[in-house]
Structure formats: structure tokens, C-alpha cells
Amino acid sequence: MVDSFEKAPKTELDWAAIEEKWKKRWADDRIFETNPQSDKKKYFLTVAYPYPNSPQHVGHGRTYTLADVHARYKRMNNYNVLFPMGFHYTGTPIVSMSQRIKSNDKELIETFQKIYKIPGDVISNFKEPKKIASYFHQEIKQGMNEMGYSIDWRREFTTIDKGYSKFISWQFRNLKKKGLIVQGSHPVGWCPQDQNPVSQHDTIGDIEPELIEYVLVKFKFEDQYVVPTATLRPETIFGVTNLWINPDIKYVIAQVNNEKWIITKEAARKMEFLNAAVTLISEISGSDLIGKYVFDEKRKQQVPMFPASFVDPDNGTGIVMSVPAHAPYDYQALIDLRKDYETLRKYNITANVDPIKIIQTDAFSSNESSAAETIVTSYSIKDQNDPKLEDATNKLYSEEFHNGKLLPHIDEIGNLSVVEAREIIKTKIISQGIGTIMYELKNSVKCRCGTPCVVKLLTNQWFINYGDENWKKMSNELIDNMEILPEEIRQEFTNVVDWLKERACARKSGLGTKLPWDNEWIIESLADSVIYMAYYPLSRYISNNQELQKDEDKLLADNMTDNFFDYVLLGKNDPDVVAAESKISVQLLEKIKNEFEYFYPVDSRHSGRDLVPNHLSFFIFNHVAIFPKEKWPKQIVVNGSVLMEGKKMSKSLGNIIPLRHAIEEYGADSIRLTMLASSEILQDSDFSFDLVKGIRAKLFDIYRNIHSHLDIFRVQSNVDEDLEDVWMSSRLQNVIMETTSAIDKFRIREALHNILYRMDNDLEWYEKRKLAKNKSIFNNYLKEFFEIRIKLLAPFAPYFCEEVWEIMGNASYISSAQWPEINQSKIALMSEDNEKLIQSIIFDIQKITKVTKMVPKKISIYTASNIKCTLYRKILGRIQSQTTPNFGQIMKEFVNDDQVKDLVKRNPDLVKKIIDDILSESVEVRERRMKIDSFNEIIPLDDGKSLLVREVGNNNLEVNIYSEDDNDKYDPKQKSRFARPYKPAIYIE
Ligand SMILES: [Zn+2]
């Protein structure tokens, strides 16, 4: 398991010592403890609190690290940032874990020992659920501290603290008063072993159970038995030609309530969980049914039973009604059966039934053949095992659902749309006793205890009614008004709000808060974690103990009442009354209320993408239910998960790397950067040891580079303004601008690319230019470069940046430093083209000398004539003002343009070439060049001579630069006429 863990190569920095040093200083100086500050804008940022049933591994770290980067970035942008953390103890997983320890579960114990390195005596304590929770709580907290998260730990709580329970009770009484909690019978995902509803948190692989609702259509068999078939399309009962029975499986005859059903054993079990009274009577083989008839009570006619091996005993009732005119599978199975003479002979059947058309659509009703036949033919399907049948089925079902109408002659539902007909038939057959509802799981889901889940019809269960239309409307209003990053995830939220229905909100077991009005129930974990962000501003004032120290500014959890929460969180009630009731001073009450008022609403909520369909959506719902608009959250940030060397992390693959282990080996900053640099936010990021090593080496390079230039931070150097200085200064403004806007939109990979790599390219060029001129780079430009770089990097690699910031001579924390601001006066548009021109001329010359293998003695460079530059500007203008530049049109215009017509007529190719030149540049470059009135190429070319000489490698090289317009130019081969703007002509001897 730990085999895949790679040891880190040595570098000269003692990363562990650096982390230790700064962690201690931050804690000693309490720089991340945040109190209300009336003169400063607040920023309240939260991330889904961890569930302490294991230590965090590298995969967990991404969401928290992103949130911490966000917190640090906002802090550097002058916000009073609150970033708190709590621990979610609620629910059954920790309890079932303790049961597994009690029963000496080898697999679990091995995981604890081998992956997480937990000592044996600690594991033996794990028989008690709270011991598990508090052990991993401390473990996770340590890891968060080691990662350098800038958390205000004074506000820490667990969800089984007494104060928190008071808060959750208040939330639930509030929801109930608003009619949003209902009691009733609803189907839920269920673990038969634990006797509890299951949702995503309780299942292996964190899969949300998805329910499917079938209508069972009951056919009569031999007057005394019911043969039920499960369908999603009850209206197609009018097109049934036969039933499909699997000849190879055993069916059972079972007493189901007051009827005798023929179904599979699996179906009988499912019916039990749906609260039917089920008793098995006897078995009957599928082959015994084949060839016999059932009676269709709807149409009053006999329907034969045919054999089909595709019938799955665990799907529905294990018996399928066949509608060959409208179901591609049924159609194909019938065709296959007609050709299978052996089977026909065996059961003495003919299979000569005709498909019965009942639905018409524009797409499939144009000819004689049925819709199913038409689509099966058009997909060239071979037989019933053809995988294309699935696509054909989806296509036809969707078409008929959206555009289908029942044929006019169909009883009761003729001419109606499929959607209308379906509802009517469903209601009718149920009321006539020839239909009923059956639920099952759409996906195969296992409980964390290993038991396959089922659908249970829970009676007297408590539900949060997310199906409430008005509630959905308000939730959509919040979604429309909040920022969701990345934006592409917004639609997912709207979809969830659409389909959410009643959701079970209480369990009979597990840790957590009891339902305040029904003590048999415990509020489940996705219901007690939706508005808890409101508890953070209060939590540091609450004491969960029985007694208070005299000088403490706190209140006892026992004394918190609904009136207290109503006053502090909603501004209701009289403060004097509330203070007296809570046994605190009015001053303390007001202080707590002000703290909530100051920090709320949540400015940003971070979470993994897997929580969109549940936690994050419930967070939205519950906020709009409980709080007034001004307290609704402002932003949600969603990130993808983490792969390990391209693979999903799993115990079976042995690629789970505990976070603290990775930190110990590679250092927190390298781990932080690796989690964030490998992908954009919504994609899964790929953690690999090569990447960590590469990033660590990069950080060390940065350190070494700064370390070898430390004098610039101590000595004021005189300031030249060479072209490359102006350029460097301008580039820095650009890097600040682009990195800032990337972080604002959480395009973190792009931001890190700028800081780690693009800045190096700039520095390399700058050094080259200085070196060629024999000038020192120990100057203020380099100093500024280093300062900006370290500041931009600080939210991502906080330990490293504190250390470097200190050796640069700063006494303050970089964690509290000011984010670099853009200095407009330093933006020099032309400097980009200056350096680009020097770069490209050197590149072109090197290319020529490489091909010709000559060592140049003399180089002549010719810049384009003024009139060519005028033409260039005209063409650029035309291209920028048009969406699709039309060459013919541009030509026509220019042959009539007095200014350039001579040039264009003399040199017709030139326009085409310039258009190509311009189009090969980025939009950004084009826009920049539009802003520049005139560009004298001779200046940069002249300035870059020294570098050119150096790069060509001949110290006696003679370089001359001429304008094409220059009458005295040296141009023996008439090369100058090939010069174009930004593309000087070259003559090498
Ligand atoms: Zn279970």
C-alpha cells in the first residue's frame, strides 16, 4: 500500500524547519484570528467541514488548499478574512466503524495499521465511536496546521457539541414552523443491515442512491394468480402482444397482501421493503409458464408468454410486457424468436403476433412499419444482443415522450399526448386494482457496511420537503443572484433544484442531534450541515461545559434558547428578555449579535463537485428558508477531485497517500502547489510524485536565485531606463494583471503558470539583454521582480514565501502584506514589440546561418518604408473593425486610396502578405498595435545589436540597420524591398 510512495530527493533547503518556524510564529502572533473590525471590509469564507472517520489523504487536500489560497489572497487584498473550521461527527459511519472494530474486522484494522499507521493500542480504543471521531479530528487538525491553512481555530466546534445541538434544534423547529418538515411515507435508499436510510455519505464510493418508479401492470393467470410486469410506460399496455419470461430462472408464487403473485424471488424481497405483506408459497420454473396465456384485464383479451433470455430477474418483477411496435428490444426479440425454430418447437409456439401501433410521432409514423421496426432497421441492428439497441431505445423513447400522441382509436386516451396519457393510465389502473407502484434502485449501491442497498418505503418518517414549489422558486432566485465558479456548473444547480423532492432527514441511529419534537429520531448528517456557517461567528462565545470561569466572556450552551438564536441570527425579540433568559449581560448578547451581523452572509463556500447534488444544494435551500435575503450566501466555488498518477485513489489500488505523510516527505508548499497546478478547477487534478519533485525543485531555484542577489535588497542602485528595463517593468504590470484576474476566476493553473514559469522566461530574456550590454542586473528592476513574484506566490506557498520574504529583509509577514497593485504609468505598450522584434530578428538570423552553415561577418537589416507602415496600419484597422476580412474588398478599397494605391499596384502581393502577418498574431497583439501610433523599428534593432553579436558568436560581426527609405543604404542585393512592418529584411555576408 505504501509501496507507491516515493521518497523525496534531497535539496539544500530544510523545508521542515521552515514550516515549523513559521507555523509557530503565525500561532504566537495569532495572525489568523479574526475579529470584527468596523473600518475594514470583511470576507467570510468557509469550506465543507471534514468528517473524522479517517486521516485526510492527498485527495482531501485540494478543496481545503483552494479555500486557504482564497483566504490568503483576500487577506492580501485588504479584507478582514474569517476562515474557520469545524468537525462533522454526525451520522452512522463512525458508529458502524466502531462496530466493525468490536467485531475485529481484519480489513478495517489493516487499513488503520498499514495505510494510516495508527498504533494498536489506539485502535483498541476505537470500540467507542466518539474515540474514533476525536482521534481523527486531532489528526486532521494537525494536518491542516501542517498544510499552513490560515484558520481561526478559536471558532472550532464539533457537531455533537451541546451548543451546536441547540443551534440545530432551533433550525429544525424553524423549518417545521414554516411547514417544510413533513411526516409521511416515502421511498428512500435503505441499508437492510443497519436498518437506516442511506444517502451519498453512507455508501461505498460515495454514490447517491437513485430511485426509479415503476408501474406494475397486473395480468391474470389461471384466474387465481397475478403476473405483474414492471414498466415506465404504462400507456403502452394498449400495444402489448405478449409477455417475456426467462425460461432459465425459477420464479416464486408468493402471497403479496391478498393476492398470489408470480414473480422472481428478488422482486418478492423488494416488495417486502415496500411494506407489502409477503409470504413465499412455492416455486415455479419459467419454462413452465411459456406458451401459456395470461388475461389482460384492461383490454379483456388473452396474451401469450414467450421465452426471452434477456429478462433480468433483479429488474422489476422479472417479467416483462412486450410492446414490439414501440420498444426496439421487444421488436428484435420477437424477430429473433421467429427464427429460432428449436425454441419454437420446444414450447410448441408460433410467435406469430403482430406489433400493435398505438403512438404516432412525425419522426417515425411516415410509413407502414412500426416505430420500433423503423429505428431498428435504420440502426442496422443484428440481434437482441446488439449494443446499439440501447441507443435506439433511448432515441425512440425520448422522441415518443416529447412528441408522441396516442392514435385516435385508443380507448380513454386517444389523441392525447404521451405525457398526458401516461398519467391517466397510471391513475386508472391503480384505482381499478390492476396496477400498483414499485420502486427500485436505478444504480447498484452498497452501504459502507458492505450490504447492498434497497428501496424502502418508510412510514412515519420525517422528511424535509424540498419538493415545495415555492421553496424551489426562492432557491432558484438565490442561484440566479449568486456567483458560481466555475460558471459552467450553474446549470447543474438549477437541475438539482428541479428534481429534488422530499428527503428523509432523520435516522434511528448514529451520532448527532435528536429531532426536538420526536426524540426517537436523530437528525442526519446532510440535514445538520446546511446553515452551520452561521454558528462560526457565535461559537467562540459558547461554553459547552457546565461552568464558566468568572472572567470569561462566554455563555453556557445549556442556557441558549430559541429566543437567543432568533435574536442573534434573525434580529427578533427583546434583548433584555433574551439576555436574562440566557443568563448573560445585554452587552455580551449584543457583542455576539454584532459579530454575526458583521461576518454574515457567507462570501464564499468551497466544496468538491460531488457535493453539488446534495450538500451545496441543501445549503442553498436552507439559507433561503431560514434567513432574510441580505444574509444569503454570495458565492459557491466547486472543484474536481484528485487522481493519483492518473488513477482514482482507492484502498484496493494501494495508492492512498496520507496527507501528513506526504507533507513530511515533500513539504507542505510543494504539495499545495501540486494539487493546484495540474488542472483547472473543475477537472480532476492528477497528483504525481514527478510533479511534486519538479515543483519542489522549482521553488528551490527561485530561492537560490533570490539568495544570490540579496544585495539588491540592501543597496539602493541607480536607475537606468534602458529598453529592457522599461519592458521588464511593463511585463511585471502585465503579470500582476493577468494573475490577479486568473485568481479572481479561480483559473488557478493559469495563475501558477504565470508565477512559476512565465516569469522565469521574462527573467531569462532580461538577463541576456543586460549581459550583452555588459550591464549589471543587480538593480531595482530585479528587486521589484522578486518582490512581486514572491507576493503573487504567497497565497499558494505560504511557508516558502515567508522565509524568502524574510531573507529579502522584511520584518513583517508576507501573509499580511499587500497584494501587488498595478501601476498604470509603468505599462509601456511599445516595449513588447521592441523586445519581440529583437527576439525575432535573432531567431531569423540564426535560422539562416544554420541552414547555410556560414559564420556571418557582416549583417545588414532593412526596416520597411514609411508607406508600407501606413499600409500596414490601414490593413490592421480594417481587420480589427471587421469580423471576417475579405481580401478582394480590401484590395478594391486600396487601389482607389490615393495614399497607398501606387504601392499596392506596384506590389500586389504585399497586401496579402500583410494580412497574413496580421492574422498570424494574437488578438491581444493586434489590439496593442492598434493603440500604437508609430513604431520606429530602428530603435530596438539598434539597441539589440549587442545581443545579436553575442548570439551569432562572432565578436567582430558588423551589423548595420537601414530604413528601406534610406537613399544611402548599403543594399547590393536589393533585399530592402522585401522588408515589411515588424518583419525587417536581412542580408548576411
Ligand atoms: Zn449498512
For 581-637, write each residue's pLDDT tens digit. Answer: 999 999 999 999 999 999 999 999 999 998 999 999 999 999 999 999 999 999 999
Distance from residue 106's CA to the centre of ligand 1 (Å): 17
pLDDT tops 50 at residue 2: no
Residue 96 C-alpha to ligand 1 middle, in angstroms?
8
Which residue's entry shows cell 525543485?
697
* Residues 53, 132 contacting (CB under 8 angstroms): yes
Q: Is the pLDDT of residue 656 over 90?
A: no
Find where cell 514527478 sits: 690
Rounded to whole angstroms, the Cα distance separating 214 from 211 reads: 10
How far, in Å, from the CA of 450 to the mean position of ligand 1? 6
- The grid cell for 212 is 426509479
374-393 pLDDT per residue, tens: 999 999 999 988 999 999 99
Q: From the CA of 205, how far away is ligand 1's center (Å)?
A: 13
Q: Which residues neighbour 952 within 8 Å (Cβ) at sequence distance 6 or greater?
A: 842, 845, 846, 849, 856, 859
Q: What is the pLDDT of residue 715?
A: 77
Residue 576: pLDDT above 70?
yes
**What's the gap in Å between 90 CA and the centre of ligand 1?**
16
Give tens-digit pLDDT for 479-529: 999 999 999 999 999 999 998 988 989 988 889 999 999 999 999 999 999
- Ligand 1 centroid – CA 194 distance (Å): 5
Instruction: Please tell me the distance between residue 509's alpha carbon and the centre of ligand 1 in angstroms.
Output: 12
Position 3 scores a pLDDT of 44
pLDDT number for residue 551: 67
φ, ψ for residue 108, nearest 5 deg: -65, -45
Predicted confidence (pLDDT) at residue 722 exceeds the cutoff of 50 = yes
In this structure, how many other beta carbons lie within 10 angstroms of the beta carbon of residue 977? Answer: 15
Ligand 1 centre distance from Cα of residue 639 (Å) = 29
The mean pLDDT value for 787-815 works out to 97
**From ligand 1's centre to the CA of 158, what distance in Å?**
24
C-alpha 651 – ligand 1 centre gap (Å): 19
Nearest to 439 by CA among 230, 207, 251: 230
For residue 611, the CA-to-ligand 1 centroid distance in Å is: 21
Q: How far is ligand 1, taken at its centre, from the CA of residue 216, in Å? A: 28
Confidence (pLDDT) at 92 = 83
The stretch 151-168 carries a mean pLDDT of: 97
CA of 196 to the centre of ligand 1 (A): 8
Distance CA 351, CA 343 (A): 10
- Residue 7 has a pLDDT of 64
Number of helices and strands in the chain (H, E): 37, 32
Q: How confident is the model at residue 8 (pLDDT cuts 50, 70, 90)?
A: low
CB 835 within 8 A of CB 940: yes
C-alpha of residue 264 to centroid of ligand 1, in Å: 24
Calculate how far, in angstroms, residue 916's C-alpha sits from the geometric centre of ligand 1: 67
Select from 672, 685, 705 the least CA-distant residue to 72. Answer: 672
Buried b (16+ CB within 10 A) or exposed e, 884-901: eeeeeebeebbeeeeebe
Q: How many residues does the chain have?
A: 989
**Ligand 1 center from residue 448 Cα (angstroms):** 6
Beta bridge partners of 219: 227
pLDDT, greater one: 882 or 519: 519
Ligand 1 center–CA 456 separation, angstroms: 13
| CA–centroid distance, residue 445 to ligand 1 (Å) | 11
User: What pLDDT score was predicted for residue 492?
Assistant: 94
Q: How far is CA 519 from CA 169, 514, 516, 526, in A?
A: 11, 6, 6, 19
Q: What tens digit of pLDDT does each residue of 962-973 get?
A: 999 999 999 999
For ligand 1, the distance from its centroid to the CA atom of residue 63, given in whole angstroms, is 28
For ligand 1, the distance from its centroid to the CA atom of residue 91, given in whole angstroms, is 12
Cα(206) to centroid(ligand 1), Å: 13
Lowest mean pLDDT among 257-266, 283-292, 897-906, 975-984: 897-906
Whether 884 shows a pLDDT value over 70: the answer reads no
Distance 68 CA to ligand 1 centre (A): 35
Q: How far is the CA of 942 from the centre of ligand 1 (A)?
A: 78
Per-residue pLDDT, 893: 82
What gap in Å lies between CA 160 and CA 158, rounded to an integer? Answer: 5
User: Given a cut of 70, is residue 941 above it in pLDDT?
Assistant: yes
Burial class (CB in 10 A: 0-12, 13-18, 19+), 125: middle
Distance 312 CA to ligand 1 centre (A): 25
Q: Which phi-psi region, left, alpha or beta, contains residue 57 (left: φ > 0; alpha: ψ -120 to 50)? A: beta
Cell 541607480 found at: 718
User: Distance between CA 419 and CA 575 in Å, rounded?
Assistant: 56
- Work out the average pLDDT over 522-542: 96
HSE of 196, CA atoms in CB hemisphere, 13 A: 27
For residue 99, the CA-to-ligand 1 centroid distance in Å is 11
Q: Tell me the CA–centroid distance for residue 273 and ligand 1, in Å.
A: 15
CA 202 – ligand 1 centroid, Å: 8
Distance 95 CA to ligand 1 centre (A): 11
CA nearest to 544, candidates 210, 101, 30, 167: 167
Ligand 1: distance of its center to the CA of 192 in Å? 7
Minimum mean pLDDT range among 231-240, 289-298, 682-691: 682-691
Report which of 342, 110, 326 is spatially closest to residue 235, judged by C-alpha positions: 326
Nearest to 832 by CA among 963, 753, 925, 944: 925
User: How far away, in angstroms, is 523 Cα from ligand 1 center?
Assistant: 18
Q: Which residues surround ligand 1, an ion (CB under 5 A)?
A: 191, 193-194, 447, 449, 451
CA of 136 to the centre of ligand 1 (A): 22
Q: Return the percentage of the chain with pLDDT > 70, whole number.
A: 98
Nearest to 445 by CA among 435, 430, 460, 455: 455
Mean pLDDT of 718-737: 92
State residue 181's pLDDT score. 96
Q: Which of 27-36, 411-420, 921-930 reaches the highest mean pLDDT? A: 27-36
Residue 457 alpha carbon to ligand 1 centre in Å: 17
**Residues paired with residue 226 on neighbouring β-strands, in sequence order:** 220, 261
Q: Which of 78-92, 891-905, 915-929 has the highest mean pLDDT?
A: 78-92
394 C-alpha vs ligand 1 centroid, how far in Å? 34
pLDDT confidence of residue 6 = 65
Distance 183 CA to ligand 1 centre (A): 24
Distance 444 CA to ligand 1 centre (A): 14
Contact between residue 192 and residue 451 where contact means Cβ atoms under 8 Å apart:
yes
Position with higher pLDDT, 678 vs 546: 678
Task: Examine the pLDDT at 324 and tell me if it is beyond 90.
Answer: yes
Strand duo 405-406 + 359-360: pairing: antiparallel
Q: Is there a contact between 381 and 328 (Cβ–Cβ < 8 Å)?
A: yes
HEC string for 328-341: HHHHHHHHHHHHCH
Distance from Cα 203 to the centre of ligand 1, integer Å: 8
Residue 449 CA to ligand 1 centre (angstroms): 4
Task: Report d(CA 475, CA 500) in Å as an integer.
Answer: 11
346 Cα: distance to centroid of ligand 1 (angstroms): 45
Write out the DSSP string of 380-418: T--STT-THHHHHHHHHHHHHHHH-EE-TTSTTTTT-BH
CB 105 within 8 A of CB 99: no
Ligand 1 centre to CA of 101 (Å) is 15
Taking the centre of ligand 1 as the mean of its atom positions, its distance from the CA of residue 949, in whole angstroms, is 76
Going from the Cα of 200 to the center of ligand 1, the distance in angstroms, rounded, reads 12
pLDDT (0 to 100) of residue 685: 87
Residue 446 CA to ligand 1 center (angstroms) comes to 8
**If you measure from the C-alpha of residue 447 to the centroid of ligand 1, how many angstroms do you get, rounded to a whole number?**
4
- In order, the DSSP letters of 515-581 are ETTEEEEEE-TTTSSSSGGGGHHHHTTEE-SS---TT---EEGGG--HHHHHHHHH--S-HHHHHHH
Round the average pLDDT of the chain to a whole number and report it: 92
How far is ligand 1, taken at its centre, from the CA of residue 176, in Å?
29
Say how far apart CA 9 and CA 694 lie, in whole Å. 11
- In the chain the first and final C-alpha atoms are separated, in Å, by 66
Asked if pLDDT for residue 170 goes beyond 60, the answer is: yes
Instruction: Look at the alpha carbons of 315, 319, 325, 329 in this order and tell me if their dihedral is positive or negative.
Output: positive
CA of 76 to the centre of ligand 1 (A): 47
For residues 729 and 85, give the distance between their C-alpha atoms in angstroms, rounded to a whole number.
Answer: 41
Q: Is the pLDDT of residue 4 over 70?
A: no
796 burial level (CB within 10 Å; 0-12, 13-18, 19+): buried
Using the mean position of ligand 1's atoms as its centre, give its distance from the Cα of residue 186 in Å. Answer: 19
**Rounded (to 5) percent helix, strand, coil in the chain:** 50, 15, 35
For the residues 555-571, what does the mean pLDDT come to? 96
Q: What is the mean pLDDT of the segment spanning 248-274?
A: 95
